[in-house]
Amino acid sequence: MKTIQGPAIFLAQFMGDEAPFNSFESICRWASDLGFIGVQIPTWDSRAIDLRLAAESTTYVDEIKGIAADAGVAITELSTHLQGQLVAVHPAYDIMFDGFAPKEVHGNSKARTAWAVEQMMLAAKASRNFGLGAHVTFPGALAWPYIYPWPQRPAGLVETAFEELARRWLPILNAYDEVGVDVCYEIHPGEDIFDGATFERFLALVNNHPRCCINYDPSHFILQQLDYLQFIDFYHERIKAFHVKDAEFNPSGKAGVYGGYLGWVDRPGRFRSLGDGQVDFSSIFSKLTQYGYDSWAVMEWECCIKDSQQGAAEGAPFIENHIIQVAKRAFDDFADSGMDLEANRRILGI
C-alpha cells in the first residue's frame, strides 16, 4: 500500500479575470495559502498555460514548474476536458460545443474535431515535458442522445457509435503510450463513457489499451445511483487520477435520476462542496489506499449553493484529513511470538 498525494485543486472552476485568479502565478499562491500542495491545470485557459508552447519548449515548461514550485505547489496533471469532449460530438450538440473551440472552426465539425485531436496530441507532448504520468480528459459522445431506449434503437447503433469513438481515440492513446502518459477519462454523464459498462465496451474496442485509464469522480456516480465503492473494486487497476467532488441524491415524487429539467438547485441529484453531500469519502480513501493508489487527490469544486472560495478554503483540510498515512508495521506486531517453521508444524500436529 502507498499513501495518496494531496491535497490538490483543479483550477478550472477558479480561473477568472480578477486577481488572484487571472494569472498562473497568483492563483498558485492563492491555492498554496489555502493549504493545497498541488494544482491541476486546465490547458484551454491561456491565463494558466500556453499548451502549444508547453508541447514545444522545455524551457517554457521549466518556467511554469518554477512558478508553481515558488508558490509551494506541484503540478499534478494537465486537463483537456473541453478539447477531449470535441474529439466526438453528436450533431445535436454542434452549436453548444462550438464554444469550446476557436472561432475559426465554428460551424465546421470536421475542422473542430481535427483541432481537438491536435490539442490532445499537444497535451501528450506537454505532459511528457512536465514529467507527468497521467492526463485527465473527457472522451466525447456520439451515442448520448440515445441514452434512453425509446424509440427502440436501431440494431447496431450503439455498436457503431462506440466503434467510431474507439477509432478516433486509438491513435491518441498510442501517442500517449509513446510518451509514457496514461489517458484518464472522467466517467461522466454526457459522455459515451458514463459508467462501468460503457467503459468496458470502449476498453474492449481499443484492445485493452494500457493507457486507457480512469479519472475517478464519485459525484457522477451518486447522481446515477451507481455503487461508487464497488466501482473501485472492479476498476482500481485502471484508476490513475482522482477528482474529489461531493454530491447528493434526494429523489421525490416529482423527479428522480433524470432531474425533470430542473435547475441545479432544485434537481434531486446535485453537486455539493466537500463534506456537504452524501459521498462516503472515508470508504473511498480507504479502498483506494488498500489497492495502492498513490497519485493525487484533486478537489474539483462544483456546488450550486456554497460560494467557491468558501468551498476551496474548506476543501484542502477536508482532503488532508481523509488521506491515510500507510502503516509501516502491522498493528499486532507486539504479539509476534517469533516462532519458526518447526514450531508451526508442532502447533498443527504434523
Model pLDDT for residues 244-270, shown as the tens digit of each residue: 999 999 999 999 999 999 999 999 999
Residue 274 has pLDDT above 80, yes or no: yes
Instruction: State residue 336's pLDDT score.
Output: 74
What is the average pLDDT across 298-314? 97
CA dihedral 26, 127, 241, 143 (to 10 degrees): 110
Pairing of strands 246-249, 269-272: antiparallel
Give 182's strand partners.
Answer: 134
Which pLDDT does position 17 carry in this prediction? 96
Are residues 268 and 257 in contact, defined by beta-carbon separation less than 8 angstroms?
yes
> Which domains occur in the chain, in start order?
5-348 (3.20.20.150)
- Largest CA-CA distance found in the chain, in angstroms, rounded: 81
Q: What is the pLDDT of residues 18-39, one digit of tens each?
A: 999 999 999 999 999 999 999 9
pLDDT (tens digit per residue) in 129-175 = 999 999 999 999 999 999 999 999 999 999 999 999 999 999 999 99
Q: Is the pLDDT confidence value at 342 over 90?
A: no
Q: How far apart are CA 7 and CA 108, in angstroms?
A: 40
Q: What percent of the chain has pLDDT over 90?
A: 94
- Residue 70: the pLDDT is 98
Across the chain, mean pLDDT equals 96
- State the DSSP H helix or E strand holding residue 212, giving kind and residue range, or none if neither: strand 212-216
When pLDDT is averaged across residues 106-121 and rounded to a whole number, the result is 98
DSSP per-residue letters across 97-145:
HGGGS-GGGTT-HHHHHHHHHHHHHHHHHHHHHHT-SEEEE---BSSGG
335 has pLDDT over 80: no
Average pLDDT of the segment spanning 31-49: 98
| pLDDT value, residue 333 | 72
Q: Which residues pair with 248 in a beta bridge?
A: 270
> Which cell numbers hold the place of 192?
459515451
> Is the previous residue joined to 20 through a cis bond, with omega within 30 degrees of 0?
yes
What does the radius of gyration of the chain's CA atoms come to, in whole angstroms?
22
CB-based contacts of 107, cutoff 8 Å, min separation 6: 94, 98
Residue 42's DSSP bridge partners are: 79
